[in-house]
């Protein structure tokens, strides 16, 4: 008995010294995917984001600097307090080095300061608010896939250029919706267009959009901008068709995912413009990756899910390049290295943590144009990285010199 | 201005008749069985999903779904009543509330697991596509159909319960089940059928809603709160109350969406609070 204890103690000491020598804390690189697993955004992020992170770890060979990569996942239920509690537990007890996805801005803004305090990395793919890389920016945070400014810029500016110069907004009455509406309205005005009015609907909880749509119709605006997301957008589009509004006016979805288009069907969604960071059928690389994703999830990836893969891969590459998983060194490497993969070409990360890469303005195909399952988009314009994202924000304290 | 307002009021009437249809089932179940049926939203969702599954997997169209889907949902209601609710008779109705609430969570969770969250579209039936141009607004045929059918079913149910011998048995059963049993009426079976009917109404409303809203596992949970408010305002268990209040609430909501859209989903509950202050038993309820 005594021998065994001594042996165990010796092992522990040996393990301890090994850990001290190692460049990888706790001898493991652990990445937690914290996202909405069951709620409104679970189809566009959720289990698909977790799978994407697992694929990234597998493709990296399952090991970095000779230490295993472990991916875990949890449901934040779209609640900021749940998100920050899980994050704290992961950092303090479960040796998590980085947290990925964090769909919905409120959960991202709740976790970011916790991660910064513990010096751990956050890789955001799902949330959209510009505050993430604005006044709330942290040195350990990376905002990977899109932000509201990029959506407003892509859809707002381009649609005005193509002649849609009068707008009416149907806006979800909370922070995300209002900020999206304001950003887009600014783009529309900057492009010489006019905003004729807006309706703000309670969210969640609105299922009937007909009265807002009728007001939009009465305004005579050429474009009805939908500054909402998920189920709200889907119902609004469906009912716009029902009331014959799409015959004379066009819809512009400001945050629409391919999962939304899939659930609406092309007959209803056809002709709509939207901005996306990723389309599975864009080139050979995106098709090859998406095919593997499809084999596991039985659906094509959204930009959020593809973004999780890309962000996790870049993080692992940075660990490799830095020769350590020390967050300061890794964050510096991540900013230094360009991103080139199936998701982003010539992506660059600014001092504010925003990943700037090409975005795509796409138009939804008609049923006749769609030749095979998930053949949904025509790429109307590639928006180059320099135009697609805002310049480095001077609101971010990290940027001040 | 007048044009826009009449458009909004018409939409309010459409939504209101739909509220009436949904709250009617709740009112019948509460009035006759003293069960607060929190699973109503899930049963409504079930109706819509059955219609969708019928079309998707079996090629059953809208019109058959309108008949079959409520029957299937109603049958599940019979099972729920026989297996669970009957055991709770005589207990505080809080238990029934908890049971049905739990059932709702389970049903919605299962559908969420199987079908995800974004939902699926259900097409408007061929016959009811297109619409009428009323001058002040464009009225889709399908919405007009919803108003006509909802009001028809609501008034029909009211008539059966208030004015026919079957209705008289039902009402007698609520007042004094033992006495009615003594007259040779099988009261437990009657209660079971009543619950089945109330639930079938929810399923029916679900099929009606499928072409308008996206068919999703959560479609019921976003609606059920308003519908409960309607029942409370109308007077718990009052059938006429739920019909009249349903339409009234729809109109008030339509008016609010026009004047102050942000308050649209609060106004119903403000109305409820005011009514409860003035008439604690609701507009049409009887003081006990």
d(CA A192, CA A190): 5
Instruction: Phi first, then psi: give them for residue A167, nearest 5 degrees.
Output: -125, 150
* Residue written as token pair 């949902």: B73
Distance from CA of A40 to the nearest CA of B (A): 6
Is B284 within the bounds of a domain?
no
Q: Distance from A339 to chain B by nearest Cα, in Å?
A: 31
Domain spans of chain A, in order of start: 26-146+283-356, 149-276+359-388
Each residue of A346-369: pLDDT tens digit?
A: 899 999 999 999 999 999 999 999
Report residue B92 as tokens. 């505080």
Mean pLDDT of A188-196: 93
Residue B100: inside a domain: yes
Using an 8 Å CB-CB cutoff, list chain A residues near B255.
Answer: none
pLDDT band at B55 (very low <50, low <70, confident <90, very high): very high
Residue B288 lies in a domain: no
B8 contact A CB<8A: yes
Mean pLDDT of chain B: 90
Residues whose CB is less than 8 angstroms from the CB of residue B264 and which lie 6 or more positions away in sequence, other chains included: A201, A202, A206, B253, B256, B257
The pair of structure tokens assigned to A41 is 């955004």
pLDDT interval class at A162 (50, 70, 90): confident
Asked if B213 has any chain A CB less than 8 Å from its own CB, the reply is yes
Phi then psi for B85, rounded to 5 degrees?
-65, -35
Q: How confident is the model over A58-85, as a mean pLDDT?
A: 94
CB contact under 8 A, A263 and B120: yes
Cross-chain Cβ contact A212/B140 below 8 Å: no
**pLDDT band per the 50, 70, 90 thresholds, residue A100:** very high
Minimal-distance CA residue of chain B relative to A231: B118
pLDDT, mean of residues B31-53: 93
Q: Which of B93, B120, B87 is nearest to B30 (CA)?
A: B93
Q: pLDDT higher for B116 or B212?
A: B212
Structure confidence at residue A20 as a pLDDT band (50, 70, 90) = very low
Q: How many residues does chain B have?
A: 288
pLDDT at A21 over 70: no
Residue A397 at interface with chain B, using a CB cutoff of 8 Å = no
Domain encompassing residue B40: 2-278
Residue from A49, A178, A196, A242 whose CB has the most chain B CBs within 10 Å, to mutate: A242
Question: What does the pLDDT read at residue B175?
Answer: 78
A48 — contact with chain B (CB < 8 Å)?
no
C-alpha distance from residue B127 to each of A55, A349, B61, B81 (Å) = 48, 55, 12, 37
Q: Report the CATH number that the domain containing residue B240 is assigned in CATH.
A: 1.10.3470
DSSP classification of residue A246: G
Evaluate if residue A19 carries a pLDDT over 50: no
Are residues A231 and B140, on separate chains, in Cβ contact within 8 Å? Answer: no
The predicted complex's ipTM stands at: 0.81
What CATH topology corresponds to A26-146+283-356?
A: Rossmann fold (3.40.50)
Residues of chain A with Cβ-Cβ distance to B142 below 8 Å are 242
Residue B283 inside a domain? The answer is no
Angstrom distance (rounded) from CA B261 to CA A221: 19
Q: Which residue of B has its CA nearest to A264?
A: B121
pLDDT for residue B183: 87
Does A244 contact B112 at a Cβ distance shorter than 8 Å?
no
Sequence-distant contacts of B263-267: CB under 8 A, at least 24 apart:
B264/A201, B264/A202, B264/A206, B265/A202, B265/A205, B265/A206, B265/B226, B266/A202
Summarised one tens digit per residue, pLDDT across range B86-118 is 999 888 889 999 999 999 999 999 998 888 877
Contact predicate A108/A41, CB 8 Å? no
**Mean of the pLDDT values across residues B169-182?**
83
B254 touches chain A (CB under 8 A): yes
Helix (H, G, I), strand (E, B) or coil at B165: helix
Chain A residues closer than 8 Å to B14 by CB: 210
For the entire predicted model, the pTM comes to 0.82
Which pLDDT value is given to residue B80? 95
CATH code at A149-276+359-388 = 3.40.50.2300
Nearest chain A CA: its distance from B57 CA (Å): 17
- Does the CB of A177 have a partner CB in chain B at under 8 Å? no
């Amino acid at each position: 008995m005594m021998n065994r204890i001594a042996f165990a103690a010796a092992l522990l000491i040996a393990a301890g010294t090994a850990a001290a020598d190692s460049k990888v804390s706790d001898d493991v690189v652990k990445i937690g995917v914290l996202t909405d697993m069951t709620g409104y955004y679970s189809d566009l992020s959720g289990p698909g984001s977790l799978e994407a992170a697992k694929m990234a770890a597998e493709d990296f060979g399952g090991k970095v600097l000779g230490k295993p990569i472990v991916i875990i996942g949890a449901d934040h239920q779209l609640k900021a307090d749940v998100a920050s509690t899980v994050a704290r537990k992961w950092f303090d007890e479960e040796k998590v080095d980085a947290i990925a996805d964090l769909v919905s801005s409120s959960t991202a803004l709740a976790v970011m300061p916790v991660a910064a305090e513990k010096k751990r990395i956050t890789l955001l793919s799902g949330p959209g608010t510009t505050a993430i890389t604005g006044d709330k920016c942290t040195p350990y945070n990376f905002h990977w896939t899109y932000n509201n400014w990029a959506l407003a810029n892509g859809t707002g500016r381009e649609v005005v250029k193509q002649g849609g110069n009068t707008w009416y907004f149907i806006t979800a009455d909370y922070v995300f919706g209002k900020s999206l509406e304001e950003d887009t309205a600014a783009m529309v005005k900057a492009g010489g267009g006019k905003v004729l009015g807006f309706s703000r609907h309670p969210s969640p909880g609105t299922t009937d959009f007909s009265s807002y749509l009728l007001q939009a119709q009465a305004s005579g605006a050429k474009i009805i901008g939908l500054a909402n997301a998920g189920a709200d957008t889907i119902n609004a589009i469906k009912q716009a068709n029902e009331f014959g509004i799409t015959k004379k006016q066009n819809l512009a979805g400001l945050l629409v995912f391919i999962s939304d288009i899939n659930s609406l069907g092309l007959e209803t969604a056809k002709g709509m413009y939207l901005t996306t960071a990723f389309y599975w059928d864009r080139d050979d690389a995106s098709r090859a990756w998406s095919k593997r994703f499809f084999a596991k999830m039985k659906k094509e990836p959204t930009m959020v899910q593809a973004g999780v893969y890309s962000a996790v891969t870049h993080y692992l590459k940075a660990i490799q390049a830095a020769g350590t998983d020390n967050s300061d060194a890794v964050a510096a490497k991540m900013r230094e290295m360009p991103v080139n993969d199936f998701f982003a070409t010539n992506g660059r990360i600014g001092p504010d943590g925003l990943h700037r890469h090409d975005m795509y303005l796409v138009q939804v195909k008609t049923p006749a144009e769609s030749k095979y399952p998930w053949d949904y988009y025509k790429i109307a314009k590639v928006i180059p990285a320099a135009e697609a994202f805002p310049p480095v924000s001077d609101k971010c304290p990290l940027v001040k010199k | 201005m007048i044009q826009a307002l009449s458009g909004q009021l018409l939409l309010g009437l459409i939504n209101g008749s739909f509220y009436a249809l949904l709250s009617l089932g709740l009112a019948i179940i509460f009035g006759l069985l003293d069960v607060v049926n929190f699973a109503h939203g899930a049963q409504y969702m079930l109706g819509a999903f059955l219609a969708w599954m019928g079309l998707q997997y079996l090629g059953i169209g809208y019109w058959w779904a309108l008949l079959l889907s409520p029957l299937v949902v109603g049958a599940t209601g019979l099972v729920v009543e026989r297996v669970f609710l009957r055991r709770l008779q005589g207990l505080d109705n809080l238990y029934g509330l908890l049971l049905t609430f739990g059932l709702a969570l389970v049903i919605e969770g299962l559908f969420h697991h199987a079908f995800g969250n974004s939902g699926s579209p259900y097409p408007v039936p061929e016959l009811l596509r297109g619409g009428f141009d009323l001058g002040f607004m464009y009225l889709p045929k399908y919405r007009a159909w919803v108003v006509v059918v909802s009001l028809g079913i609501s008034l029909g149910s009211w008539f059966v319960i208030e004015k026919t011998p079957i209705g008289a048995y039902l009402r007698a059963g609520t007042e004094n089940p033992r006495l009615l049993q003594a007259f040779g009426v099988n009261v437990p079976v009657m209660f079971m059928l009543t619950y089945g009917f109330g639930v079938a109404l929810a399923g029916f409303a679900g099929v009606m809603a499928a072409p308008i809203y996206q068919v999703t596992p959560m479609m019921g949970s976003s609606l059920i709160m308003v519908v409960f408010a309607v029942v409370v305002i109308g007077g718990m268990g009052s059938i006429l109350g739920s019909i009249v209040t349903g339409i009234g609430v729809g109109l008030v909501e339509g008016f609010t969406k026009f004047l102050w859209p942000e308050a649209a989903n609060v106004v119903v509950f403000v109305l409820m609070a005011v009514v409860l202050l003035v008439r604690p038993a609701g507009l049409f309820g009887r003081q006990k």
